[in-house]
Copies of this chain bind each other. A is one copy, B any other.
Amino acid sequence: MPFEVTILGCSSATPTADRHPSAQILNIRDNLMLIDCGEATQNQMLHYRIPHSRISSIFISHLHGDHYLGLNGLLATINFQGRVLPLDIYGPQPLEQMMLDHFRFSGTQLKFPLRFHVTQDQKREKLMETNKHEVFSIPLQHRIATTGFIFREKIGLRHINVEACETLNIPYVYYHDLKEGQDYKDDNGLIHRNDILTFPPSEIRSYAYISDTRFFAELAEEISGVDMLYHESTFLNELKERAEETFHTTALDAARMAKMAGVKKLILGHFSARYRDLTPLLNEAQTLFENSHLAIEGSRFSVD
């Protein structure tokens, strides 16, 4: 089952001819979530053939324009397409009123339930859970209230040991119970232990989305051990001072964070428009953390 991120935008504040502002789709077991929604996110979804209607929920990290200005346009398109399923949006408090103002002045009447959930940047918080995964917000340190997000699978069902079950002629109707951990009693009343008939569930997978923030060591604890980390890396280390002034992170510090937090894979993004060639940012990160990657638009990263 997929656990995969598709990059829709990787630019920082100002777009370039080939880079759009922040947006990405996280697919956890076919549940599609949109993380940040910069301008033209709906166009990028068209471009990469991700149906707008597939999104179940949207997470907005903060209210800088490059992270949310595509939201009202996307919602209008979803509405035109006749959505009836509810859509959950998680974001800072003023976002709700700004959306409502746009709906009011544009005469928009949503045909689907839009459920807005306020995030706060003071402490870690569980935002939502389904039977498959849960999402947490964590405080970041940026110029305005900003949160990162952690997406974590829940423990799944056990996997059938097909060979063992077929040897014992266990009917298929019992497979679901076996996956849930039950033992099997055969026609002779003999108990077969579950751990002989099944394999353990898949390891739970996790993803942290960190954009935008200055580097601060305490973050490492919050995201400790996630499999895959997206971290902003707006600047090269030679502009560390500029990064500090603007509450952003360098590629080197993003790699440092990946190392400190013990993650398995690092995706670098939110690149300053000044970098036409992104290779130096990748090279810089890889000096500290080898399994680093660039969030090139259209690329997909999965946790195996």
- Bound state CA distance, A21 and B105, in angstroms? 18
What residues of B have a CB within 8 angstroms of the CB of A13 in the complex?
76-77, 80
Q: Is there an interface contact between B39 and A15, defined as CB atoms closer than 8 Å?
A: no
Known contacts being A40-B39, A101-B94, A101-B101, is A46 close to B15, with CB within 8 Å? yes
Of A64-72, A193-201, A289-297, which binds chain B?
Answer: A64-72
What residues of B have a CB within 8 angstroms of the CB of A105 in the complex?
63, 92, 94-95, 98, 144
Number of copies: 2
Q: Is there an interface contact between A76 and B72, defined as CB atoms closer than 8 Å?
A: no
Q: Is there an interface contact between A20 and B39, defined as CB atoms closer than 8 Å?
A: no
Assess whether A73 is interfacial by the CB under 8 Å rule: yes
Known contacts being A15-B46, A15-B77, is A102 close to B106, with CB within 8 Å? no
Q: Is there an interface contact between B14 and A80, defined as CB atoms closer than 8 Å?
A: yes
15 contacts between A and B (CB under 8 A): A13-B76, A13-B77, A14-B76, A15-B43, A17-B46, A39-B39, A39-B43, A65-B73, A65-B76, A65-B102, A65-B106, A66-B73, A69-B73, A92-B105, A94-B101
Extra contacts besides A14-B76, A101-B101 (9): CB < 8 Å: A13-B76, A13-B80, A17-B47, A39-B43, A39-B70, A95-B105, A97-B101, A98-B101, A98-B105
Residues of A within 8 A of B (CB): 13-17, 20-21, 39-40, 42-43, 46-47, 63-66, 69-70, 72-73, 76-77, 80-81, 92, 94-95, 97-98, 101-102, 105-108, 143-144
